Amino acid sequence: MTPTTETTVGIGGAGESTDMVLNIGPQHPSTHGVLRLRLVLDGERIRQAEPVIGYMHRGAEKLFEARDYRQIIMLANRHDWLSAFSNELGVVLAVERMLGMEVPPRAVWTRTLLAELNRVLNHLMFLGSYPLELGGITPVFYAFREREVLQNVMEEVSGGRMHYMFNRVGGLKEDLPAGWASRARGAVAAVRSRMDVFDDLVLGNEIFRGRTRGVGILTPAAVHAYGVSGPIARASGVDFDLRRDEPYLAYGELRDTLKVVGRTEGDCLARFECLLEQTHNALDLADACLDRLGDLPPGPINQRLPKVLKAPEGHTYAWTENPLGINGYYLVSKGEKTPYRLKLRSASYNNIQALAELLPGTLVADMVAILGSLFFVVGDIDK
């Protein structure tokens, strides 16, 4: 029998697949906020992705329990700093439901108007910043120009540029200034006349379309599994909008103007298109509200409240269609002047979870395109 010789040859690390763990963040102390992504890479391809949150957490839900029903509006205002008016709105709707309070019609229509103007302000930020994240700097200058026009009228009516603090339990802080409606109408018309910049400059750009079409496809099944909502869910074919399906404020009377924008592709491009088209519709809704306000007879803008406001014992749930998706407010009262518990369900918290499903299998080069297309605010995640 011929003897055999066994030889071991070292071939180094290239002979086996080696995963690399890469941390993206935490940094970016402004704009969308401080997020960390923990990625497991196989070469240029992402195998696993874990969003690591909590770097901005300030315990707002616990602070709600130590503030009265006027003070919690300020706390709820700030988690999504691009949607401050809408954040306030959900809290006061929950308290008013507990009290069984009916808000004057003038306050209802004014709230609807300001909520839609706030929606446009939110969307314009992402319409400008998303191309910026993909290397196109020009659109952000146009976006901020239009935001300034609308922020001027929002500041005039409320006194705040970002954190308006204009909602009150029972209505609004005060009535609209003299001549404000015509100035608001002019601002809406000015912004609408220049919105084609985003159609031409962004959607008409072949590089932008090449970076976003077919990238980061979110299936309807994943939308339901993760509780994704808002423009991101509708871009995947999930046709749900609280303003139409469970109307609140004056949306029930705006059915002819309200258009629920949707797509079926579920990719980054579809999400951007939904955001842009929804911005156009929000401007139309603002005009419709201004028309109705002009037809209303003079009347109160709020209800008179006792010096110490106490909600009756019980619990309720209010939800609103915020610019980034569905916000929910679960309020529990023990009959005191402070909430016993106020649980906030924010849109970005659920939406960002979808990254664990979207990123695996994609290239690192597509990560920023997918991340930006979820249109999140980290304060809305961390609360």
- The first and second tokens of residue 286, run together, are 């603002």
As a whole number of angstroms, the distance between CA 356 and CA 352 comes to: 8
The DSSP code for 233 is H
Least confident of 21-25, 262-266, 375-379: 21-25
What's this model's pTM, rounded to 2 decimal places? 0.91
As a whole number of angstroms, the distance between CA 290 and CA 276 comes to: 22
What is the tens place of the pLDDT at every residue in 181-233? 999 999 999 999 999 989 888 998 999 999 999 999 999 999 999 999 999 99
What is the tens place of the pLDDT at every residue in 60-111? 889 999 999 989 998 888 888 899 999 999 999 999 999 999 999 999 999 9
**Where are the extended beta strands (E) located within the chain?**
20-24, 36-42, 45-52, 167-168, 171-172, 314-322, 325-333, 341-345
- The first and second tokens of residue 115, run together, are 């909520």
What is the tens place of the pLDDT at every residue in 270-298? 999 999 999 999 999 999 999 999 999 98
Q: At what angle do helices 180-193 and 268-295 cross, to 10 degrees?
A: 150
What is the arithmetic mean of pLDDT over 234-263?
94
DSSP string computed for 247-295: --TTGGG-TTT------SS-SHHHHHHHHHHHHHHHHHHHHHHHHHHHH
**Residue of 254, 265, 300 whose CA lies nearest to 112:** 254
Are the CB atoms for 238 and 100 separated by under 8 Å?
Answer: no
Please, what is the end-to-end C-alpha distance for the chain in angstroms? 76
Q: Please report the pLDDT score of residue 19 as a whole number.
A: 77
The DSSP code for 225 is H
Q: Please report the pLDDT score of residue 9 as a whole number.
A: 43
Are the CB atoms for 373 and 271 separated by under 8 Å?
Answer: yes
As a whole number of angstroms, the distance between CA 115 and CA 178 comes to: 20
Residue 345, strand partner residues: 328
- The first and second tokens of residue 287, run together, are 């005009």
As a whole number of angstroms, the distance between CA 29 and CA 361 comes to: 29
